[in-house]
C-alpha cells in the first residue's frame, strides 16, 4: 500500500502501479478503474511485438472496469476491485477464448472460469487477456509455432522463459501488474527469473487447479507472477482465503538461510554466480545467518529422474481427463496431431504408451513411492532438523539465452539445451514445496538474474513474509527500456 497519496495520471505512472497500489488507488478514488485499464490497453498495443498475449478483448475489459467504478461508487471495498490481471491461456475463461497454445482450439470459448480466475473476479478483479504460452505448456523457452515466440522485454532477441512465457513478459513490460501462471517443473519461476519479476509457486495443492490444462496431476500447481512479493501475497490470500496475521517484522536478524552449491551451482554462468554470491554477502550484512549445506551426491540425479518420469508418464491421462471434464471440443489424439513437429516427436517418444521412452508402471511407481518420499525427506530436513527458514539458489543457472540459440546454447563453456533452464527448479517441483523467485540484479548486458527461496511444505505464508523481507534488501529492477 502507498504511504501517501501521489497524483497518478500519465500512462507510464499508471503502468508502474503494482496490484496492491492499484487496488488502493481505485478504492481511495485517486484513479478510476476505467482510466487504469485504458492506460494498460494502450501499453499492450505499444508492446504488442513482445507477443505476450494471444487474446485481449478490449471492449470487455473497459466494460468490466466501468462496472468496477460503479461498484466502488456504491460502496464496494472488494480487495481486488478494478485491477486487471493477465491469465495464462491454459486457464479456462468464461466468454473469452482459451487455446492452450494450440491451433486446434483457436476458436474455443469456455462456458466456465477456472477456479482461480473465478476467485479473483469474485474479489473484483478483471481478466485483461490471455497470455501466450508454450504449446500445451510443454517447453521452457517461450516458443509457440502458432502464436509466436514471446520476447524478453529486457532484450527482445532473448527468450522469455516458459511455459508461462507471456505472463512473465507482460508483467515485466508493465502491461499488467500481475499474471496467472502454471508450474510443473519451473514454468512460473523460470520466466520470472529471466524476465526480472517475482514468481510464486505455492505448495502443490494449495491453489486449485480446476479448469487449468494439466501436464501432471502430481506435480502441477497454479501460481502467479507479479512485480513484488507483496502483490503475490495479496493474490495468494484472495485465492486461498487464507486470512493470515499481518507481517510483523521487516528485518532479517535471526533469519537462517541454507544454500547448496554442490547441487545448484555445479554448472553456472559466471556472472549469475557472482550476483548470487554477492546476494549471500548482502543477506549476511543484513543480519541473516547463511550456511552452506550438502544435499547428497545423488540428489540432482534423483530429483531429475523422479520428476521427469512422473511428468511424462502422467501427461496423456491428465490431459485426456481435463478435456473430457471441462467439455473442450477436442480429443487427446486431435491435440497430439496438431502439435508442432518437434513437440509431437517428444510426445510420441515419451508421452504415448507406445513410445520407446514411456515410463513403465514399475518405474512410475518407484518414482512415486521411493524417490519422491526420499526427496521430500531430504529437503524437509533442511527446515525441520536443520532449522533453516529457506533454501536459496539461483533460480536459473544462466540468464535468458538468445532466441536464435534457444534449443542449444553454451553455459560456462558447456553446451546445454533449454531443459537446463529448469535444472534448479526441478527439485522443488518434485518435492511439492513452495518456491518464490525474486529478481536480484541486471547483468552487464542488461539481462535479469533471479534468486529462488524455497520453504517448508505448507508454510507458504511464512515463505512469502520472509521473501518480502529479503526483497527489501535488493529492491526492484528498473523497468525495461
Residue 29 CA: distances (Å) to CA of 47, 90, 295: 28, 34, 52
**Residue 201 appears among annotated catalytic residues:** no
| pLDDT tens sequence across 401-452 | 999 999 999 999 999 999 999 999 999 999 999 999 999 999 999 999 999 9
Out of 3.40.50.720, 2.40.160.40, 3.90.1300.10, 3.40.50.2000, which CATH number does the structure's domain 11-474 have?
A: 3.90.1300.10
Decide: residue 466, CB within 10 A, 0-12 exposed, 13-18 middle, 19+ buried. Answer: buried
Arithmetic mean of pLDDT, 186-195: 98
Residue 111 has pLDDT above 90, yes or no: yes
- pTM for the full predicted model: 0.96
Tell me which of 56-60, 68-72, 240-244 is least confident. Answer: 240-244
| pLDDT tens sequence across 259-294 | 999 999 999 999 999 999 999 999 999 999 999 999
Confirm if 221 and 181 have CB atoms less than 8 A apart: no
Q: What residue segments make up the domains of the chain, in order of their start?
A: 11-474
Q: What is the DSSP letter of 461?
A: H
Q: What is the pLDDT of residue 291?
A: 98
Sheet strands side by side (includes 126-131)? 53-55, 126-131, 84-88, 178-183, 221-226, 198-201, 435-442, 448-454, 390-394, 256-259, 289-292
**Residue 88 appears among annotated catalytic residues:** yes
Residue 58 has pLDDT above 80, yes or no: yes
Residue 1 has pLDDT above 50, yes or no: no
| pLDDT tens sequence across 148-179 | 999 999 999 999 999 999 999 999 999 999 99
Pairing of strands 408-411, 221-226: unpaired
Tell me which of 3-12, 113-122, 195-204, 331-340 is least confident. Answer: 3-12
| pLDDT tens sequence across 336-383 | 999 999 999 999 999 999 999 999 999 999 999 999 999 999 999 999
Q: What is the pLDDT of residue 275?
A: 98
Residue 2 has pLDDT above 50, yes or no: no
Higher pLDDT, 275 or 7: 275
Q: Which of 37, 52, 88, 228 is catalytic?
A: 88
Q: Which of 37, 52, 170, 187 is catalytic?
A: 187
- How far the first Cα of the chain sits from its last, in Å, is 26
Q: Which of 52, 137, 163, 216 is catalytic?
A: 163
Q: Indicate the average pLDDT of the chain.
A: 96
**Residue 163 appears among annotated catalytic residues:** yes
Residue 306 has pLDDT above 50, yes or no: yes
Amino acid at each position: 500500500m502507498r504511504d501517501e497519496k501521489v497524483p497518478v495520471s500519465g500512462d507510464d505512472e499508471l503502468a508502474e502501479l503494482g496490484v496492491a497500489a492499484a487496488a488502493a488507488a481505485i478504492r481511495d478514488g485517486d484513479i478510476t478503474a476505467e482510466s487504469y485499464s485504458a492506460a494498460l490497453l494502450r501499453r499492450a498495443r505499444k508492446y504488442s511485438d513482445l507477443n505476450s498475449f494471444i487474446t485481449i478483448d478490449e471492449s470487455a475489459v473497459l466494460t468490466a472496469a466501468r462496472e468496477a467504478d460503479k461498484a466502488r461508487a456504491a460502496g464496494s471495498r472488494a480487495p481486488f476491485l478494478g485491477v486487471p490481471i493477465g491469465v495464462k491461456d491454459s486457464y479456462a475463461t468464461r466468454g473469452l477464448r482459451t487455446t492452450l497454445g494450440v491451433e486446434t482450439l483457436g476458436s474455443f470459448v469456455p462456458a466456465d472460469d477456472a477456479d482461480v480466475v473465478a476467485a479473483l473476479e469474485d474479489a473484483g478483479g478483471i481478466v485483461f487477456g490471455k497470455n501466450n504460452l508454450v504449446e500445451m505448456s510443454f517447453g521452457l523457452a517461450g516458443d509457440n509455432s502458432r502464436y509466436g515466440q514471446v520476447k524478453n522485454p529486457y532484450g527482445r532477441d532473448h527468450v522469455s522463459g516458459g511455459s508461462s512465457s507471456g505472463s512473465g513478459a507482460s508483467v515485466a513490460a508493465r502491461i499488467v501488474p500481475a499474471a496467472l501462471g502454471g508450474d510443473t517443473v519451473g514454468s512460473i519461476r523460470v520466466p520470472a527469473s529471466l524476465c526480472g519479476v517475482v514468481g510464486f509457486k505455492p505448495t502443490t495443492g494449495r491453489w486449485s487447479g480446476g479448469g487449468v490444462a494439466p501436464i501432471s496431476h502430481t506435480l502441477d500447481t497454479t501460481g502467479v507472477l507479479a512485480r513484488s512479493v507483496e502483490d503475490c501475497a495479496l493474490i495468494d490470500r484472495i485465492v486461498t482465503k487464507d486470512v493470515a496475521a499481518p507481517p510483523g517484522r521487516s528485518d532479517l536478524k535471526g533469519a537462517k538461510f541454507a544454500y547448496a552449491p554442490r547441487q545448484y551451482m555445479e554448472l553456472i554462468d559466471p556472472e549469475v554466480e557472482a550476483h548470487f554470491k554477492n546476494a549471500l554477502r548482502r543477506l549476511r550484512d543484513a543480519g541473516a545467518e547463511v550456511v552452506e549445506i550438502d544435499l547428497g551426491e545423488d540428489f540432482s540425479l534423483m530429483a531429475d529422474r523422479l520428476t521427469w518420469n512422473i511428468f511424462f508418464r502422467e501427461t496423456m491421462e491428465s490431459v485426456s481427463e481435463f478435456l473430457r471434464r471441462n467439455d473442450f471440443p477436442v480429443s487427446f489424439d486431435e491435440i497430439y496431431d496438431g502439435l508442432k513437429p518437434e513437440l509431437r516427436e517428444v510426445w510420441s517418444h515419451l508421452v504415448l504408451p507406445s513410445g520407446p521412452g514411456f515410463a513403465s508402471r514399475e518405474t512410475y511407481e518407484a518414482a512415486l513411492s521411493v524417490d519422491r518420499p526420499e526427496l521430500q525427506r531430504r529437503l524437509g530436513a533442511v527446515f525441520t532438523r536443520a532449522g533453516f527458514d529457506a533454501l536459496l539458489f539461483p533460480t536459473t543457472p544462466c540468464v535468458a539465452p538468445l532466441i536464435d540459440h534457444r534449443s542449444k546454447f553454451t553455459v560456462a563453456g558447456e553446451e546445454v539445451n533449454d531443459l537446463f533452464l529448469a535444472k534448479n527448479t526441478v527439485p522443488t517441483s518434485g518435492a511439492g514445496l513452495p518456491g518464490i523467485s525474486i529478481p536480484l540484479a541486471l547483468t552487464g548486458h542488461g539481462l535479469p538474474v533471479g534468486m529462488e527461496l524455497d520453504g517448508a511444505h505448507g508454510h507458504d505464508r511464512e515463505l512469502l513474509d520472509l521473501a518480502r523481507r529479503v526483497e527489501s534488501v535488493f529492491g526492484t529492477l528498473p523497468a525495461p527500456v
